[in-house]
Amino acid sequence: MATNGSAPKLVNVMIDGRPAAVGAGTNVVDAAHAAGVEIPIFCHHPKLVPVGMCRMCLVEVGTPGVDPATKAPILDDEGAPVIKYFPKLMAGCTTVVSEGMHVRTGTPAVAEAREAVLEFLLTSHPLDCPVCDKGGECPLQNLTMRYGPGRSRFVWGEKFHYPKPVPVGPLIALDRERCVLCARCIRFEDEIADDQVLGFENRGRGMEIVSFSDPPLDSVFSGNTTDVCPVGALTTADFRFESRVWELESRPAVCPHCAVGCNIGYDTRHGRVLRVMPREHDAVNEIWLCDKGRFGHGFTTAEGRLTHPLVRDISGALVATTWDDALTRVAEALKRTVAEGGPAAVGGVAGATLTNEDAYAFGRFLRAVVGTNNVDHRPKVIADDSVHRFGAGADTIVHALGAGHAIVVVGLDAEAEAPVLFLSLNKARRQGAALITLSTAPQKLDRHASHLRAVPGSEATLLAALVRAALEAEYEPVDGASVPSGALPNAAVPNAAVPSAAARVLADRLADHGPAAVHGVHPVDPDAVAQAGKALASAGGVLWIYGRSAVDAGLVPLMAAYAAATGQHGRAGTGLVAVGRHANAQGVADMGLTPDRLPGHARVDDAAARERLADVWPSLPSSEPGLDAGAMLAGGVQALYVLGTDPVGDDPALDLRANGVRTLIVQDLYLTPTAAQADIVLPAQSAAERDGTFTSLLRRVQRTYAAVDPVGHARADWKVLRDLAARYGDAESFAAPSDVFDEIARAVPAYAGLSYAALGPAIRTAPTDIFLPFAPLTEARSVSYIGTRYENRHGIGAAWLTPAEATYAAGDTAAHEAVAADGGEDAFAGYAVAADDALHAAAGDDLVLIPTAILFDAGRLVASSTVLHPLVPRPFVAFSPFDALQRGLVEGGRVRVTGAGGTFEAEVVVQDGVTPGTALAPESLGIAVRAAVGGERAGRVRVEVVAAGPIERGASPTPAPRPSSSPSTTATVTPGQI
């Protein structure tokens, strides 16, 4: 990874007679691991700062002796340095290696210390292994078997008793008897998740883990505490007593909930998914998962799922039919529409949760078989080719960035929209990366970032000020005398030394929009903008991570122009990263599910792309762009094919019939509100039922594998589309998703060379990598990760290269220079540095309502999980304390919000950090927030109080503890009876 600085200094150590050279600053436990020696640990975890609490890692440590008088090393008769061992055992996790250090782990003193530590840990440990959900993958079990005394001097009756598990949070059960007080859970939440929610209470034997947040364990990463917990003290609610771990069959997959692309394993038994565990991927999720990914697996069950194709009978009711009948009807309806209104009368809208294969097959069917360019996906975050041209380097690992890097997060609530990316950003920040957030709404990331708050409607001016400040700081002092040609991506030159012509042009264009211009417009200090600009200028690499709000606000062109003009793209840690709201937002855009782009981000009239596709497709669509999703849903087409998205659910007022859609075909998991309006409904397979690939936000193409059997007669989307195409006489008969992918590799240049085999299991060379089928890694070779974790044995995928990278990697200098000279002129042309005055100064009593994202939304994917469902809040609107005071709004009260496009009622939340004059309302909570603001990113609304005081709490947003966790054996059975 070409991230920052030089390689750390190496230190030579000798561990049990084995030499190892490790980086300075490594601790003895990790050094021993590198040398192939196990030092047992409980409290240490390589992802956490060592604390030295458990003493399990005691070893003998010696350093070369030095003569106190002469300061010369003491040598023995053979000239080797004499090692002086410390008189006492040292804790390996808190001892940092030094040159020439010797470590002994096999001595009687060490063995005795380990026995003693284990015996003490077990003095009050319950005899729970047979009923403990950790049993079988429990580090305490394993280390006791390996290093324990084999007997105990403490009898059962002397153990300390607590009521059996208590819900420490809504998703996590705590069994205090089993806790070994290693503080890993506390430290995970503090250090990694930045959630100060757990702590110790009391002392001595009474010490216990408590949550002091309200609601308890208020963290969307709480599931990870059960992985790092080295015992069964913390266990998950969904897996409680479901199975023993050795009975599980684990299937590798990619999380279908967001664009990060976390590697997961579906642990199944008897064809049911019982839990989701992280698979390690050092470039994606390390070893973490968010709670949505871990607990949101209810969609894999049959409950509520469509099992048969449905068609309308004479009375208009939806009735089950066969696939053959349904597909014939679909083909007939589409053919009829084309005969009447031409191919342009047909259109298709897809969701961004499809696999690449399904998305490609959808676009291929509509474009190459039906012949229409009316293809789109929603919600659309990647609408142009900015990421394709100026994307982040394919070897970018966000959590590996540190000092010398700047990361700008624009219009993205990282924790809500891409939670594990939040962890990566937080880690990069801890490692010294400059973090800048620019948005209209507050978010957790702001705590430690330079936060630039924009007023809604004028985001463009604030971003312009930031970019101008950066360019000023970077280029002004250079005198502008000689201006070399564009800085080359991948060139090993510090960017600051190469002011490119394009950067100067860009700086000039923004001359009137410097930091001073934000004064009085945005609630941010111009100096702060200038400072942030300096941080960008002085950074060796600038990574732009943006979300849907940034796209809606039209900010992408300027980010692209900056990246292009400064040559800051296509290297690790530089360039653009688009964060869609769904798992395959990048992939569906790559597959060409946009009305004006063919697969591979080429324009529909691009001659080269059309020539390429002519070889692959049976026919080509016209070279005119088609209608976008909004136009199609508004009745721009007569026959609409909706695949894996629910526009009516997002806007209940939407009536596709009234809009003029005559034939509606819906393919989905559930009978969604959109499907309820359809003529033909086709049952789709969920992510856990199909093979395929997803492309992550860092453009990493990763395979996901079927874990369970399909529900009912549900079919893979690509198969359905293949069979439909066959009804048009299309000869292409894909037999497997890999066939579809092979065609993708021919149709999309960036995917060329990729195949299922290439994305599959990585070649492993280390001798310790004995291939066991997906075994839990609590064995010796994973000592560093002791805790629950699964090794990734199914390939790490591959990130596709942007043209700048690809030409560089291919050594095609001429082509590379041509690409690198692209200063993003045309990208900038799409940028309007203007304020939307209508929004900007909300007149009178109006507020500006901003639709926001929320992690646990009311969508079916979350709602289908019994443990997550109670965490979905009731619809609410967040006001600033200032506005709340002015309008007499009280937390828990109820308001009616009326905007240009509609009205809704919701509960009042008063939240610090909201810009006065704005109000935030999460989308996807069952109310049409975005529709109320006319489908825009923000809109003026009127707020009326419906109920002033706190209304009675029905379904409390504070989750009730899981009923079955009610633990006490003494509650109804009197002591002595049981």
Cis peptide before 215 (omega within 30 of 0): yes
Q: How far is the CB of 406 from ligand SF4 (least distance, A)?
A: 34
Q: Kindly report the CA angle at 405 between 279 and 831, in degrees rounded to 5?
A: 100
Q: How far is the CB of 206 from ligand FES (least distance, A)?
A: 21
The binder of 56, among ligand FES, other proteins, ligand SF4, none, by C-beta within 5 to 8 A per type, is ligand FES
Q: Which is nearer to ligand FES, 211 or 784 (CB)?
A: 784
H or E segment and range at residue 234: strand 234-236
Residues 846-865 interacting with ligand SF4 (rule: CB under 6 A) = none
940 is a site residue for ligand SF4 (CB under 6 A): no
Q: Residue 810's Cα: distance from chain center in Å?
A: 31
Q: How far is the CB of 159 from other proteins (least distance, A)?
A: 8
Closest residue by Cα to residue 590 from 445, 466, 693: 693
The 134-173 contact track toward ligand FES, x by CB under 6 A, reads: ----------------------------------------
Residue number of the CB closest to ligand SF4 reads 132
- 777, amino acid identity: L
Pairing between strand 541-546 and 575-578? parallel
Question: What is the secondary structure of 916-950 as a DSSP string?
Answer: TTEEEEESSSSS-HHHHTTTSS-EEEEEEEEE-SP
Note the residues at the interface with other proteins (CB under 8 A).
124, 127, 129-131, 135, 155-158, 160-168, 176, 201-202, 204-206, 210-214, 216, 240-244, 246-247, 961, 963-964, 966-973, 975-978
Q: Which is nearer to other proteins, 811 or 963 (CB)?
A: 963
What gap in Å lies between CA 308 and CA 168, rounded to an integer?
42
Tell which one of 16, 115, 128, 242 touches ligand SF4 (CB under 6 A).
128
Q: How far is the CB of 275 from ligand SF4 (least distance, A)?
A: 16
Q: How far is the CB of 783 from ligand SF4 (least distance, A)?
A: 16
Q: How far is the CB of 785 from ligand FES (least distance, A)?
A: 13
**Sign of the CA dihedral 628, 633, 636, 637?**
positive
The binder of 54, among ligand FES, ligand SF4, other proteins, none, by C-beta within 5 to 8 A per type, is ligand FES
Q: Which is nearer to ligand FES, 91 or 103 (CB)?
A: 91
Residues 582/379, Cβ–Cβ less than 8 Å: yes
The binder of 41, among ligand FES, other proteins, ligand SF4, none, by C-beta within 5 to 8 A per type, is ligand FES
Residues 133-192 interacting with ligand SF4 (rule: CB under 6 A) = 134-135, 138, 140-141, 178-185
What gap in Å lies between CA 530 and CA 543, rounded to an integer?
18
Q: Which is nearer to ligand FES, 52 or 881 (CB)?
A: 52
The binder of 211, among other proteins, ligand SF4, ligand FES, none, by C-beta within 5 to 8 A per type, is other proteins
Closest residue by Cα to residue 454 from 532, 392, 369, 349: 532
Residue 973, Cβ density class (10 Å: 0-12 exposed, 13-18 middle, ≥19 buried) = exposed
Residue 153, Cβ density class (10 Å: 0-12 exposed, 13-18 middle, ≥19 buried) = exposed
Q: Which is nearer to ligand FES, 90 or 535 (CB)?
A: 90
Q: How far is the CB of 144 from ligand SF4 (least distance, A)?
A: 7
Q: Which is nearer to other proteins, 216 or 939 (CB)?
A: 216
Q: How far is the CB of 244 from ligand SF4 (least distance, A)?
A: 10
What are the CB-based long-range contacts (under 8 Å, 24+) for 241-245? 241/131, 241/133, 242/269, 242/274, 242/275, 243/269, 243/274, 244/135, 244/136, 245/133, 245/134, 245/135, 245/136, 245/137, 245/776
DSSP 87: S
Closest residue by Cα to residue 253 from 224, 228, 284: 284
Residue 77 CB contacts under 8 Å (≥ 6 apart), including other chains: none
Residues 326/666, Cβ–Cβ less than 8 Å: no
Q: Which is nearer to ligand FES, 50 or 580 (CB)?
A: 50
What gap in Å lies between CA 415 and CA 818, rounded to an integer?
38
Residues 191-210 interacting with ligand SF4 (rule: CB under 6 A) = 209
Q: Which is nearer to ligand FES, 97 or 589 (CB)?
A: 97
Q: How far is the CB of 91 from ligand FES (least distance, A)?
A: 4
Q: Which is nearer to other proteins, 520 or 963 (CB)?
A: 963
The 214-243 contact track toward ligand SF4, x by CB under 6 A, reads: --------------xxxxxxx---------
- Count residues near ligand SF4 (CB under 6 A): 25
Rg of the chain over Cα atoms, rounded to whole angstroms, equals 30
- 171, amino acid identity: L
The binder of 882, among ligand SF4, ligand FES, other proteins, none, by C-beta within 5 to 8 A per type, is none
The binder of 328, among other proteins, ligand FES, ligand SF4, none, by C-beta within 5 to 8 A per type, is none
DSSP 235: E
The binder of 157, among ligand SF4, other proteins, ligand FES, none, by C-beta within 5 to 8 A per type, is other proteins
Q: Which is nearer to ligand SF4, 227 or 883 (CB)?
A: 227
Q: Which is nearer to ligand FES, 4 or 784 (CB)?
A: 784
Question: What is the secondary structure of 542-553 as a DSSP string?
Answer: EEEEE-HHHHHT
Residues 28-87 interacting with ligand FES (rule: CB under 6 A) = 41-44, 52-57
Q: Which spans in 18-151 are helix H?
A: 28-35, 108-123, 139-147
Where does this chain bind ligand FES (CB under 6 A)? Answer: 41-44, 52-57, 91-93
Where does this chain bind ligand SF4 (CB under 6 A)? Answer: 125, 128-129, 132, 134-135, 138, 140-141, 178-185, 209, 228-234
